[in-house]
Amino acid sequence: MKLSRPFSSTSLPLQKAAPYLNSSNSIASAKELHAHLIRTQKYSDPFAISHVIRLYSLFPTSLHKALVAFNQTERPTLPIWNYMIRGLSKSDRPIEALHMYVRMRQQGFPGNNLTFIFIFKACLQLSDIVLGQAVHVNVLKLGYQSYLYVCNALIYTYGSCGDLVGAGKVFDRMSERDLVSWNSLICGYSQCYKYHEVLGLFASMQAENVKADAVTLVKVVLACSYLGDFDTADFVAKYIRDSCVRIDVYLGNTLIDMYGRRGLVILAEEVFTKMKEKNVVSWNAMIMGYAKARDLTAARKLFDKMPNRDVISWTSMITGYCQANRFSDAIALFQEMMAIKVKPDEVTVASVLSACARLGTFDVGKAVHDYVRQHDIKMDIYVGNALVDMYCKCGSVNTALEVFLSMSKKDTVSWTSMISGLAVNGFHDNAIQLFSQMLGEGCKPTHGTFVGVLLACAHAGLVDKGLEYFESMEKRHGLVPEMKHYGCVVDLLCRSGNLNRAFEFINLMPMVADVVLWRMLLSACKLHGNVVLAEIAVNKLLQLDPDNGGNYVLSSSTYATAERWDDAMKIRRLMDEGAVQRPLGWSSIEVDASTIQ
């Protein structure tokens, strides 16, 4: 296909201009030539100044010089207009490229294929599909719809602005397509999260024997990851090997991420090792892959080797520790992060606060909260929820309530965390009141919300109210009660001394009661001296969990409380004969912001 190309000439004699028209496309050479033209009074000559404007317009730092030279030019030629439109379309003020296009048309130049390619770039930067459609009309009027590069620019503009129908129409009407045509449409679908369509286009490329490149395959692998289509992902990996597709940093990072999500760290390692060029995203993706596979030793080793780290590197490692329940390591790494002045983001803060909540390290959690306030870290809903949860689990309910009330946006997790925090810290009435407020504001409760409400009723002794909430779960809110909710009701009945009622409730459950429920009943039997029900609970516990030493200790203690010493000794002997391990306990204290167990 033939494309019209801009041409330039100069009215300067070649022997005079030659020293300035060297092979270098540098700003320095443009300045030298421009100075020469000013001295010789040729700076307004469009043919003489064309090369100067072309060089100036190539660099954002000299674009203002191009504008000055352009405005001093008498009757600019079409190539000069194109130079200016191109430079402005790539700058941080693309709207001026459109203004330049309008001026050009007013001067009698309709533009050529290059003009429209540059204008579509400006429309894309502005995300203005209406202007793009208006320019498309001019393309059709002037007959440039058959030009391959113009069509490719159109497809990419429509797709990136979300008009996939427009992009598809241009693509379908093309008499000739190249790889860029396919990639432009695939990128549009990918940006609009139309991943099934991305895979469909890739299949069409295979059918038409169009060889994909790294740009294509990045989007295809990404689509496979989001759709969980790992059969296609494996086919793509084989395609990359068989077709000898060069794995650049973007394709490599996407493959590492895909393998990491699947826990295939060995395959991720192979890609990582073979990559000739790596960036911080490559290292981060590999660390996240190790963390997902619970290989935190390898993750930390790679983290320590990183030539450069960003906040995502630190966050990935901290989050990995939290997901593996290594909360002390997460806090220690966060403190190291603070020591070298790396500013955390919202994800880092939420992860560290979660670790503080699990360990009960109030001082560290409060220090993190102070840091958030002092350094203007975005207080999003996740940070707010993490703060509420941390303060509640550390027993500082008033502070948790202050955070909760200050949150401009709340979700179900926010309400549930606060309700549960109030319930377990003895503020039963407030928890129930907050639940009523939650329903009044139209927030739909979850299974977790009802655990908090039932706990509040259990601790407050509100048996009838608790049973009413339990019944409402399925009838009013469409939530099928789970084992933990049945456990809350058993706890509610046992705490109020209704042991027979609790036993009946267990027997009427639509599922087999687990050891936790029977252990609750046995503990209540010990407290209230109900040996008959205690024996039933003991037998159930020894059937369901014969290797748990805690069951034997609780059973023996129940008999001892009832002064049935022979039965107590019998349970002790059963424990010794079965080589059952006795339960171990541990506690922790916080000393100088460190947790000692």
> What confidence tens digit (pLDDT) does each residue in 41-83 have?
998 999 999 999 999 999 999 999 999 999 999 999 999 999 9
For 120-140, give the secondary structure using H, E and C. Answer: HHHHHHHCCHHHHHHHHHHHH
CATH number, domain with residue 14: 1.25.40.10
Place of tokens 């000055």: 68
The reply to whether 79 and 164 lie within a common domain is yes
CA dist 69 and 49 (Å) reads: 8
DSSP 245: -
Does residue 288 fall inside a structural domain?
A: no
State whether the Cα torsion 79-84-90-94 is positive or negative: negative
Q: Model-level pTM?
A: 0.76
Residue 212 lies in a domain: no
For residues 322 and 399, state if they share a domain. Answer: yes
In the block, tokens 């009757």 appear at 75
Find the domain containing 116 and state its range. 1-176
Contact 172, 164 (CB under 8 A): no
What distance in Å separates the CA atoms of residue 512 and residue 515, rounded to the nearest whole number? 10
**Per the domain annotation, does 466 fall within a domain?**
yes
Write out pLDDT tens, residues 162-213: 999 999 999 999 999 999 999 999 999 999 999 999 999 999 999 999 999 9
Q: Which tokens is 228 given?
A: 């969980």
Q: Which of 141, 176, 211 is the last residue of a domain?
A: 176
Number of domains observed in the structure of the chain:
4
CB 593 within 8 Å of CB 368:
no
C-alpha distances out from residue 372 to 277, 347, 384, 431, 500, Å? 36, 12, 11, 27, 52
* pLDDT per residue rounded down to tens, the chain (597 residues): 333 334 344 444 434 444 544 445 678 888 988 998 999 999 899 999 999 999 999 999 999 999 999 999 999 999 999 999 999 999 999 999 999 999 999 999 999 999 999 999 999 999 989 999 999 999 999 999 889 999 999 999 999 999 999 999 999 999 999 999 999 999 999 999 999 999 999 999 999 999 999 999 999 999 999 999 999 999 999 999 999 999 999 999 999 999 999 999 999 999 999 999 999 999 999 999 999 999 999 999 999 999 999 999 999 999 999 999 999 999 999 999 999 999 999 999 999 999 999 998 999 999 999 999 888 888 899 999 999 999 999 999 999 999 999 999 999 999 999 999 999 998 999 999 999 999 999 999 999 999 999 999 998 889 999 999 999 999 999 999 999 999 999 999 999 999 999 999 999 999 999 888 988 898 888 888 888 888 888 888 878 876 666 666 766 667 666 666 666 676 666 665 555 555 555 555 555 555 555
Same domain (yes/no): 75, 43: yes
Q: Same structural domain for residues 519 and 441?
A: no
Asked whether residue 454 falls in the same domain as residue 578, the answer is no
Instruction: Report the b/e string of 468-506 with b at 16+ CB within 10 A.
Output: ebbeebeeeeebebeeebbbbbbbbbbbbebbebbbebb
Same domain, 98 and 149: yes
Task: Determine the Cα–Cα distance for residues 415 and 517; give it in Å rounded to an integer.
Answer: 27
Closest CA to 583 of 556, 561, 543: 556
The answer on 393 and 428 residing in a single domain is no
> Measuring CA to CA, which residue among 269, 257, 333, 256 is closest to residue 300?
333
Domain boundary among 143, 176, 209: 176
CA of residue 494 relative to chain centroid, distance: 44
Long-range contacts of 403-409 (CB under 8 A, 24+ apart): 407/379, 407/381, 409/381
Nearest-angstrom CA–CA distance, 194 and 479: 33
Q: Same structural domain for residues 462 and 329?
A: no
Do residues 459 and 524 share a domain?
A: no
| 284 within 8 A of 254, measured Cβ to Cβ | no
In a domain, 100, yes or no: yes
Query: Pick from 151, 176, 201: which residue ends a domain?
Result: 176
On whether both 24 and 170 belong to a single domain, the answer is yes
The pLDDT score that the predictor gives to residue 27 is 84
Specify the amino acid at residue 433: Q
Q: Concatenated DSSP letters for 521-574?
A: HHHHHHHHT-HHHHHHHHHHHHHH-TT-HHHHHHHHHHHHHTT-HHHHHHHHHH
225 in a structural domain:
no
**Contact (CB, 8 A) for 544 and 514:** yes
276, part of any domain: no
- Is 65 within the bounds of a domain? yes
Per-residue tokens: 203: 């299949």
Q: Is residue 163 part of a domain?
A: yes
Please calculate the CA angle 577-580-582 and round it to the nearest 5 degrees. 125
Residues 33 and 138 in one domain: yes
**Whether residues 50 and 167 fall in one domain:** yes
DSSP collapsed to 3 states, 449-471: HHHHHHHHHHHHCCHHHHHHHHH
